[in-house]
């Protein structure tokens, strides 16, 4: 009897397509994993990176009302261009007042110098008067001596009745007159000497007034310079070339001293700040080659190098730095900001990058 059962179903063959797909997936996964493994050995990557640039704030140094605005949002300006003008009428009045005060101080100095010159002349005059009085005193002393000798002779002659009593009395009167004249000259000399002391004191006081007037002039000159400086601050200019940010200031608006009006994004230099995990820091060093990909230009490779490393992790510069000594400790991998500098200065797309744009950074750490 035959054992074949024509009614039984034939056995199914395994699908070769499934095997092929499985093999491709396994090989592809293995290749992808090995590629990532060997790539990770020589590269450190992060997408926690942004473009940075120098941003200069435009600040009003004086209070006042905005008279004119010469820029608008996103406008390119050159260094020295006028941005904003503040109403300067009040400051011009202050400058005129300071200049008037300076003129008054100069007049006071001229008057003090004139008084000093007059005082010196008076000193010379009184010194001459003292010298003249001394000469007159010497002559008066000679006259007193002569009249005294004459009186002695007349005393002897009047005793012998060789002369009359009247002649004797005349000789006595001449001696007394000479003595009084000498006393008058001595008194005049003392008065002249006293006057010399007074004039000298006045001259000293006048000289001190010159010093005070000179100090006042310096102070008034400082006031004038300060008024001129404040007046110059009414014209706000660009300190550097770059693109103006949003301009929220309006004409007629009152500004406070030190108020930030808007900012200028300088285009002279751009770089990338990439925040790498601390576990990636081991093989990184300054000068290593870096490839940067910007989200705005995904198909372009920007050439760069590692410029420098931050002095501390980003969390240390936070408003509230973490304090692991308080509460329960949970270890969190920290990130270290790394400065990436572009090296291809002829790359025109570098200038099209804007601060804050996201980029992908690939550091070549392999030897």
Percentage with pLDDT > 70 across the chain: 81
15 half-sphere exposure, CB direction, 13 A CA radius: 6
Domain identity same for 111 and 142 = yes
Q: Which CATH number goes with the domain that contains 305?
A: 2.40.30.170
pLDDT of residue 121: 64
Strand segments, DSSP code E, in 198-288 are: 235-237, 242-244, 254-255, 260-277
Domain identity same for 211 and 345 = no
Q: In what order do the strands lie in the sheet with 235-237?
A: 235-237, 82-86, 64-69, 254-255
pLDDT in tens, 195-216: 666 666 665 666 667 777 788 8
Q: Residues for the chain: how many in total?
A: 367
pLDDT in tens, 113-131: 776 666 666 666 666 666 7
Tally of structural domains, the chain: 2
Q: Which residue's entry shows tokens 């926690």?
A: 48
SS (HEC) of 97-111 = HHHHHHHHHHHHHHH
Domain termination site, one of 232, 258, 290: 232
- Residue 34 falls inside a structural domain: no
Averaged pLDDT of the chain: 83
DSSP assignment of 33-50, as one string? Answer: HHHHHHHHHHEEEEEEEE
* Tokens encoding 345: 């200065």
The C-alpha atoms of residue 52 and residue 338 are separated, in whole angstroms, by 12
Distances (CA, A) of 116 to 24, 95, 210, 266: 111, 31, 8, 60
SS (HEC) of 213-227 = HHHHHHHHHHHHHHH
Say yes or no to pLDDT of 87 above 60: yes
> Which pLDDT band holds residue 336 (cuts at 50, 70, 90)?
very high
pLDDT in tens, 221-260: 999 999 999 999 999 999 889 999 999 999 999 999 999 9
Q: Is 295 exposed, middle or buried (0-12, 13-18, 19+ CB in 10 A)?
A: exposed
CA Rg value for the chain: 52
- Residue 301 falls inside a structural domain: yes
pLDDT of residue 160: 73
Domain termination site, one of 206, 232, 258: 232
Per-residue pLDDT, averaged over 78-82, amounts to 93
Q: Which residue's entry shows tokens 């008194």?
A: 187
Say yes or no to pLDDT of 53 above 50: yes
- Residue 124 falls inside a structural domain: yes
- Residue 20 falls inside a structural domain: no
Domain identity same for 159 and 170 = yes
pLDDT of residue 158: 67
> Which pLDDT band holds residue 23 (cuts at 50, 70, 90)?
confident
Say yes or no to pLDDT of 1 above 50: no
The C-alpha atoms of residue 357 and residue 251 are separated, in whole angstroms, by 32
Say yes or no to pLDDT of 62 above 80: yes
pLDDT of residue 2: 46
Q: Which residues touch 315 (CB under 8 Å, ≥6 apart)?
A: 321, 322, 334, 335
Per-residue pLDDT, averaged over 150-159, amounts to 71
Dihedral (C-alpha) 160, 162, 164, 168: value to the nearest 10 degrees? Answer: -70
pTM assigned to the model: 0.64
Closest CA to 295 of 44, 50, 43, 55: 50
Among 142-146, 265-269, 329-333, whose mean pLDDT is lowest? 142-146
- Residue 33 falls inside a structural domain: no
Q: Which CATH number goes with the domain that contains 183?
A: 1.10.287.620
Handedness of CA 95, 96, 97, 102 (dihedral sign): positive
Closest CA to 64 of 199, 190, 233: 233
pLDDT of residue 13: 52
Strand segments, DSSP code E, in 103-211 are: none
pLDDT of residue 201: 62
Closest CA to 305 of 366, 358, 363, 346: 363
In angstroms, how far apart are the furthest CA atoms of the chain?
221
Torsions phi, psi for 235 (to 5 deg): -105, 105
Per-residue pLDDT, averaged over 38-47, amounts to 79
Q: Which domain holds residue 82?
A: 46-87+243-364
Question: Do residues 182 and 175 lie in contact, with contact meaning Cβ atoms separated by under 8 Å?
Answer: no
Domain identity same for 105 and 185 = yes
The C-alpha atoms of residue 87 and residue 253 are separated, in whole angstroms, by 11
């Amino acid at each position: 009897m035959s054992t074949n059962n024509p009614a039984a179903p034939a056995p199914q063959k395994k699908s070769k397509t499934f095997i092929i797909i499985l093999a491709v997936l396994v090989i592809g996964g293995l290749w992808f994993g090995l590629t990532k493994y060997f790539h990770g050995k020589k590269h450190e990557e992060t997408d926690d990176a942004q473009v940075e640039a120098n941003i200069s704030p435009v600040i009003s140094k004086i209070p006042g009302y905005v008279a004119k605005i010469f820029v608008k949002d996103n406008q390119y300006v050159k260094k020295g261009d006028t941005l904003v003008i503040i109403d300067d009428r009040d400051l011009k009045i202050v400058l005129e007042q300071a200049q008037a005060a300076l003129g008054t101080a100069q007049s006071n100095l001229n008057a003090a110098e004139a008084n000093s010159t007059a005082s010196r002349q008076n000193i010379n005059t009184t010194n001459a008067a003292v010298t003249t009085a001394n000469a007159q005193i010497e002559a008066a002393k000679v006259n007193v001596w002569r009249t005294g000798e004459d009186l002695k002779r007349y005393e002897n002659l009047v005793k012998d009745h060789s002369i009359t009593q009247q002649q004797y009395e005349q000789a006595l009167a001449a001696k007394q007159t000479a003595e009084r004249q000498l006393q008058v000259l001595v008194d005049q000399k003392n008065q002249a000497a006293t006057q010399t002391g007074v004039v000298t004191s006045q001259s000293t006081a006048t000289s001190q007034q010159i010093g005070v007037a000179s100090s006042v002039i310096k102070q008034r000159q400082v006031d004038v310079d300060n008024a001129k400086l404040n007046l110059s601050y009414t014209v706000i200019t660009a300190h550097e070339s770059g693109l103006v940010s949003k301009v929220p200031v309006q004409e007629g608006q009152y500004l406070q001293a030190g108020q930030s009006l808007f900012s200028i994004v300088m285009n002279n230099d751009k770089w990338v700040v990439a925040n790498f995990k601390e576990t990636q820091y081991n093989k990184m060093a300054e000068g290593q080659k870096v490839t940067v990909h910007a989200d705005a230009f995904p198909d372009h490779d920007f050439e760069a190098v590692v410029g420098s490393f931050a002095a501390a992790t980003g969390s240390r510069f936070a408003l509230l730095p973490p304090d692991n000594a308080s509460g329960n400790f949970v270890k969190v991998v920290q990130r270290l900001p790394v400065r990436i500098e572009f090296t291809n200065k002829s790359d025109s797309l570098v200038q099209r990058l804007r601060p804050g744009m996201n980029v992908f950074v690939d550091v070549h750490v392999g030897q």
